[in-house]
Amino acid sequence: MHANSSQAPVRHGAMRAQNLGLVLGEVARGGPLTRAALAELTGLTKTTVSRLVADLLDAGLVAEAPAVPDGERGRPGVEISLSGDRVAALGLEVNVAYLAACVVDLTRRVRVRRVLRRDNRADRPAAVLAALAALGDAAVREVPGLRVAGTVLAIPGPVGGGRVHNAPNLGWRDVDVPALLGRPVTVENEANLAALGELEFGAAPRDFLYVSGETGVGAGLVSGGALFRGASGMAGELGHVAVASGAEAGGRACRCGATGCLEVFAGKEALPSPEALASGDPAALDACARAGRALGIALSSAVNLLDPGTIVLGGCYTPLFRWLSPPLCEVLAERLATLRPDLPVLVPSATGPDAAVLGAAGQVLQRVIADPAAYAEKTTDM
Amino acid sequence: MHANSSQAPVRHGAMRAQNLGLVLGEVARGGPLTRAALAELTGLTKTTVSRLVADLLDAGLVAEAPAVPDGERGRPGVEISLSGDRVAALGLEVNVAYLAACVVDLTRRVRVRRVLRRDNRADRPAAVLAALAALGDAAVREVPGLRVAGTVLAIPGPVGGGRVHNAPNLGWRDVDVPALLGRPVTVENEANLAALGELEFGAAPRDFLYVSGETGVGAGLVSGGALFRGASGMAGELGHVAVASGAEAGGRACRCGATGCLEVFAGKEALPSPEALASGDPAALDACARAGRALGIALSSAVNLLDPGTIVLGGCYTPLFRWLSPPLCEVLAERLATLRPDLPVLVPSATGPDAAVLGAAGQVLQRVIADPAAYAEKTTDM
């Protein structure tokens, strides 16, 4: 019966793990900070903080540097910051026309970004994911000093429990992504990750709807700084919101099988290039106005239901913002202005095409910062 | 300088208020409970619990009764339950064709319910709210032993900070409701309160979209047991989600000024009576099928965006459920089945036409249970 003797160390370990997360969290939020400041912020003793900081230094999660001298106040203290020299995150993305990978260090600096243009519809999921694994490996090899703490992968379609039930734009059905990628990975919807990328790496407020324009159209809702996922993690499927009925919808079926979906009218394939628009090509301007009005209808429904405050246009919509926004805002005003004291604010994405892959890497960093002990156990003796 | 002498009692008072809420919360969640059980659940000493229970008894918030004897275990303890004899909540509702009031005691028993059929569009807001105040007073007078702890009012339209910005179905614009009602009241959107009524008094799960069918159509989203309000409290305006475009929408403007809104096709005025449907009247069956399909389009957009798991059909949709649900489910399947492993579950409301007014009263009870000291200060020497 070793129950008593084994319980104490377990409890001690759990408390130490929790305190490591507490200290690293404060450094991430407010660093650089001295050990004394960390003791004050966490309520831990200076001795405990010093021991925890030593562990975090060993694990390469933080670094120390002399504080900038503060006038007459004697010798400067040493300040603790996140370290960008050892721990990194791998973000991956499969989209219809490209694969992407990025390596981001713990200070959120993007160290490598690779994009491979590729028609992923032409290949089976296994081949696409093998190419993605190779792209990710190449990206990681470019920064040999960094250790990858984890991998998150963005997929353009609804995702539940690591499986892709149906991503019609890729032609994927019931794909077990981690098994095919051949490594531990968390799979998440592309628009959700792009919304988080915009929140963490962009300039978004704490309440917004991120709209991802690619071959498919998705959305991620951030409410009070957190992603809204819905009952089964499938919220935000803006691309299949109805924008047309009857004759307008007829004959233009969406890849999902329904008619009148936003994606048919405002997916990437319905949009002209920024060059054609800039040259004043009338057909291009017409197509963009039509897409903008369709987006206006879908987003008026989204505002009625979700009340997001701000709408961020991302993906292929970002470079088209100046052409899309006038018809879009016109429809929002037509459909919403009498009911609401304020119309939602419409802005282009600050992270552009990198939103999803940055958001993917950002999720890994958040996990490391929330539970540094779990990360360190895998890679060091800490 | 009385800072020190005055701070200690304030802190003591705050702790006592918090502990009163802790004890009353446990009684509400798990009662009847003995004092010993309450001490165990709250972590407070038995002496402290006894003192707090005495205060709650004085305030009429709890009652004691002998526990059912438990076999051979000696004399039975005394158990503490919520008391239905003193504290009550007043729920009020303004809708287009009626006013409603209900008095609910602390045990959630509905003690009085009054409905006044009335064309509220024919009158100015001041006259409507005067009639509502009279209805509420009459309801309270029917239960002379009860003291009303607070009032919440349901309004069919977007509400922000007590003001109704625009409720087009009532014809109200920028109405300061508390000022016109002439008493302290919290004003809240009708569909939001109906969703909470369904959660607390009905049989709903912790994730669902409540759909309120009246002259206007609204919705309230409950996610993880809490109401989702959006950035400015105006989420859930299902009635103005677009369901038709082009020729289908043309010429049928909504009261909000837009075209193609769900409300035009599935608001109460577009629906037949259950009697006409039961008698097999072909025009009535056609109208109901049309409304069901329109609801299906709007709700498919809502499911794509919100992923609620369950959809509860309330208000005038409840008695029409057997006729509305087949066309509605058909459209949900057409628009959602390929993208999602499961379609949302569709159920009729368990609280029927009382959902909003019950939800309104329920909000008052929640406030009393969360902070009994604040309530008791107003009404007793506790």
The reply to whether A369 falls in a domain is: yes
Q: Is 90 exceeded by the pLDDT of residue B291?
A: yes
Q: Is 90 exceeded by the pLDDT of residue B245?
A: no
| B93 alpha-carbon distance from chain centroid | 10
pLDDT tens by residue, A38-49: 999 999 999 999
Question: Please, which contacts does B67-76 make with residues 24 or more away whose CB atoms are closer than 8 Å?
Answer: B67/B32, B67/B34
Shared-domain flag, residues B269 and B189? no
Residues of B in contact with A243 (CB under 8 A): 242, 245
Sheet with A33-34: strands ordered across: A33-34, A78-82, A62-66
Burial A190-227 (b: 16+ CB within 10 A, else e): bbbbbbbbbbbbbebeebbbbbbbbbbbbbbbbbeeeb
Task: Specify the pLDDT at position B7.
Answer: 41
Task: Specify the pLDDT at position A282.
Answer: 96
> Is residue A193 left, alpha or beta, with left meaning phi > 0 and alpha meaning psi from -120 to 50?
alpha
Residues of A in contact with B238 (CB under 8 A): 304-305
Shared-domain flag, residues A231 and A330? yes
Task: Specify the pLDDT at position A256.
Answer: 86
Task: With cut-offs at 50, 70 and 90, classify the pLDDT of residue B183.
Answer: confident
Alpha-carbon torsion, ordered B305, B160, B164, A337, to 10 deg = -50
Of B154, B227, B236, residue with least CA distance to B196: B227
Interface contact A305-B300, CB threshold 8 A: no
- Separation between Cα atoms, residue B249 and residue B291, nearest integer Å: 14
- Closest CB from B232, B245, B257 relative to A243: B245
Length of chain B as a residue count = 382
Reduced to 3 states (helix: H, G, I; strand: E, B; else coil), residue B221 is strand
- Closest CB from A238, A241, A245 relative to B248: A245
pLDDT tens by residue, A198-214: 999 998 899 999 999 98
For residues B47-57, give the mean pLDDT: 95
Interface contact B234-A307, CB threshold 8 A: yes
Residue pair A106/A146 in contact (Cβ under 8 Å)? The answer is: no
The contacts of residue A29 (CB under 8 Å, 6+ apart) are: none
Task: With cut-offs at 50, 70 and 90, classify the pLDDT of residue A32.
Answer: very high
For chain A, what is the domain count? 3
Q: Is 80 exceeded by the pLDDT of residue B251?
A: no
Task: Specify the pLDDT at position A15.
Answer: 85
Task: Specify the pLDDT at position A203.
Answer: 85
B240 touching A, CB under 8 A?
yes
Q: Is 60 exceeded by the pLDDT of residue B75?
A: no
Shared-domain flag, residues A277 and A339? yes
Task: Specify the pLDDT at position B1.
Answer: 37
- Separation between Cα atoms, residue A322 and residue A329, nearest integer Å: 11
Interface contact B158-A340, CB threshold 8 A: yes
Q: Which of A23-32, B3-12, B193-202 has the lowest mean pLDDT?
A: B3-12
- Separation between Cα atoms, residue A337 and residue A343, nearest integer Å: 6
Interface contact A342-B166, CB threshold 8 A: no
Interface contact B338-A241, CB threshold 8 A: no
For residues A324-339, give the mean pLDDT: 95
Q: What is the DSSP string of A296-327?
A: HHHHHHHHHHH--SEEEEEETTSTTHHHHHHH
Shared-domain flag, residues B126 and B68? no
The residue among B169, B229, B238, B301 with the most chain A CBs within 10 A of its CB, best to mutate, is B301
Task: With cut-offs at 50, 70 and 90, classify the pLDDT of residue A382.
Answer: very low
DSSP structural state of residue B242? B
Task: Specify the pLDDT at position B4.
Answer: 41
pLDDT tens by residue, B332-345: 999 999 888 889 99
B366 touching A, CB under 8 A?
no
Q: Which residues pair with B313 in a beta bridge?
A: B211, B348
Task: Specify the pLDDT at position A1.
Answer: 37
Interface contact A340-B165, CB threshold 8 A: yes
Sheet with B159-160: strands ordered across: B159-160, B163-167, B172-176
Residues of A in contact with B304 (CB under 8 A): 236-238, 240-241
Residues of B in contact with A300 (CB under 8 A): 240, 242, 258
* Proportion of chain B in helix, strand, coil states, percent, rounded to 5: 45, 25, 30
Q: Is 50 exceeded by the pLDDT of residue A2?
A: no
Strands A208-213 and A310-315: parallel
Residues of A in contact with B243 (CB under 8 A): 242, 245
> Beta-carbon neighbour count of residue B350 at 10 Å?
15
The reply to whether A199 falls in a domain is: no
SS3 readout for A69-88: CCCCCCCCCEEEEECCCCEE
Q: Is 80 exceeded by the pLDDT of residue A72?
A: no
For residues A206-234, give the mean pLDDT: 94
Interface contact A307-B339, CB threshold 8 A: no
Shared-domain flag, residues B211 and B264? yes
Q: Is 80 exceeded by the pLDDT of residue B263?
A: yes
Interface contact A232-B158, CB threshold 8 A: no
Structure tokens at A5: 């003797």
Shared-domain flag, residues B76 and B123? no
For residues A353-378, give the mean pLDDT: 90
- Closest CB from A168, A229, A304 relative to B241: A304
Q: Is 70 exceeded by the pLDDT of residue B69?
A: no
pTM of the model: 0.88
Residue pair A200/A177 in contact (Cβ under 8 Å)? The answer is: no
Shared-domain flag, residues A213 and A289? yes
Q: Where are the alpha helices (DSSP H) in B149-189?
A: 177-181
Interface contact A223-B228, CB threshold 8 A: yes
For residues B102-114, give the mean pLDDT: 96
Burial of B143 (0-12, 13-18, 19+ CB in 10 A): middle
Q: What is the DSSP string of A135-202?
A: HHHHHHHT-TT-EEEEEEEEESS-EETTEEEEETTTTEEEEEHHHHHTS--EEEEHHHHHHHHHHHHS
Shared-domain flag, residues A38 and A108? no
The reply to whether B259 falls in a domain is: yes
Shared-domain flag, residues B216 and B330? yes
Task: Specify the pLDDT at position A68.
Answer: 67
Return the CATH number at B56.
Answer: 1.10.10.10
For chain B, give the percent of residues with pLDDT over 70: 92
Q: Is 50 exceeded by the pLDDT of residue A6?
A: no
* Structural domain for B339, as ranges: 204-349
Residue pair A245/B248 in contact (Cβ under 8 Å)? The answer is: yes
Strand (E) or helix (H) holding A36: helix A35-42
For residues B177-186, give the mean pLDDT: 90
| A306 alpha-carbon distance from chain centroid | 20
Shared-domain flag, residues B209 and B319? yes
DSSP structural state of residue A96? S
Place of tokens 């309120």: B212
Q: Is 80 exceeded by the pLDDT of residue B6?
A: no
Name the domain boundary from A37, A56, A82. A82
- Closest CB from A166, A305, A340 relative to B338: A166
Q: Which of B26-35, B73-82, B191-200 has the lowest mean pLDDT?
A: B73-82
Q: Which residues pair with A115 in a beta bridge?
A: A100
Return the CATH number at A100.
Answer: 3.30.420.40
Cα separations (Å) of A322 from A210, A313, B260?
17, 11, 27
The reply to whether A189 falls in a domain is: yes
Of A33, A61, A92, A22, residue with least CA distance to A380: A61
Structure tokens at A212: 């991802």
Q: Rounded to the nearest 5°, which phi and psi values hold at A365? A: -60, -40
The reply to whether A311 falls in a domain is: yes
Q: Which residues pair with B261 in a beta bridge?
A: B242
Cα separations (Å) of A197 from A155, A220, A238, B21, B122?
14, 10, 18, 40, 51
- Separation between Cα atoms, residue A107 and residue A88, nearest integer Å: 9
- Separation between Cα atoms, residue B174 and residue B162, nearest integer Å: 10
Residue pair A199/A222 in contact (Cβ under 8 Å)? The answer is: yes
The reply to whether B53 falls in a domain is: yes
Q: Is 70 exceeded by the pLDDT of residue A7?
A: no
Shared-domain flag, residues A305 and A373? no
| B94 alpha-carbon distance from chain centroid | 13
- Closest CB from B160, B235, B307 relative to A230: B307
Interface contact B237-A339, CB threshold 8 A: yes
The reply to whether B46 falls in a domain is: yes
The reply to whether B56 falls in a domain is: yes
Sign of CA dihedral A332, A335, A337, A341: negative
Q: Rounded to the nearest 5°, which phi and psi values hold at B188? A: -150, 155
Sign of CA dihedral B254, B258, B263, B265: positive
Structure tokens at B206: 């912790």
Shared-domain flag, residues B334 and B370? no
pLDDT tens by residue, A286-310: 999 999 999 999 999 999 999 999 9
A272 touching B, CB under 8 A?
no
Nearest CA in chain A to B206: A231
Q: Is 90 exceeded by the pLDDT of residue B80?
A: yes
Task: Specify the pLDDT at position B277.
Answer: 96
Name the domain boundary from A44, A62, A82. A82
Interface contact A231-B308, CB threshold 8 A: yes
Interface contact B305-A229, CB threshold 8 A: no
Place of tokens 């960093």: A365
Residues of A in contact with B166 (CB under 8 A): 338-340
Stronger pLDDT, A324 or A173, i.e. the higher one = A324
Interface contact B305-A245, CB threshold 8 A: no
Task: Specify the pLDDT at position B374.
Answer: 85
Residues of B in contact with A304 (CB under 8 A): 236-238, 240-241
B251 touching A, CB under 8 A?
no
Residue pair B113/B100 in contact (Cβ under 8 Å)? The answer is: yes
For chain B, give the percent of residues with pLDDT over 90: 75
Q: How many CB pairs under 8 A join A and B?
A: 176
- Shortest distance between the Cα of A150 and any Cα of chain B, in A, equals 28
For chain B, what is the mean pLDDT? 90
For residues A312-332, give the mean pLDDT: 96
- Separation between Cα atoms, residue A48 and residue A25, nearest integer Å: 16
Q: Number of helices (H) and strands (E) in chain B: give both, helices first.
A: 13, 16
A306 touching B, CB under 8 A?
yes
Stronger pLDDT, A159 or B231, i.e. the higher one = B231
Task: Specify the pLDDT at position A368.
Answer: 95
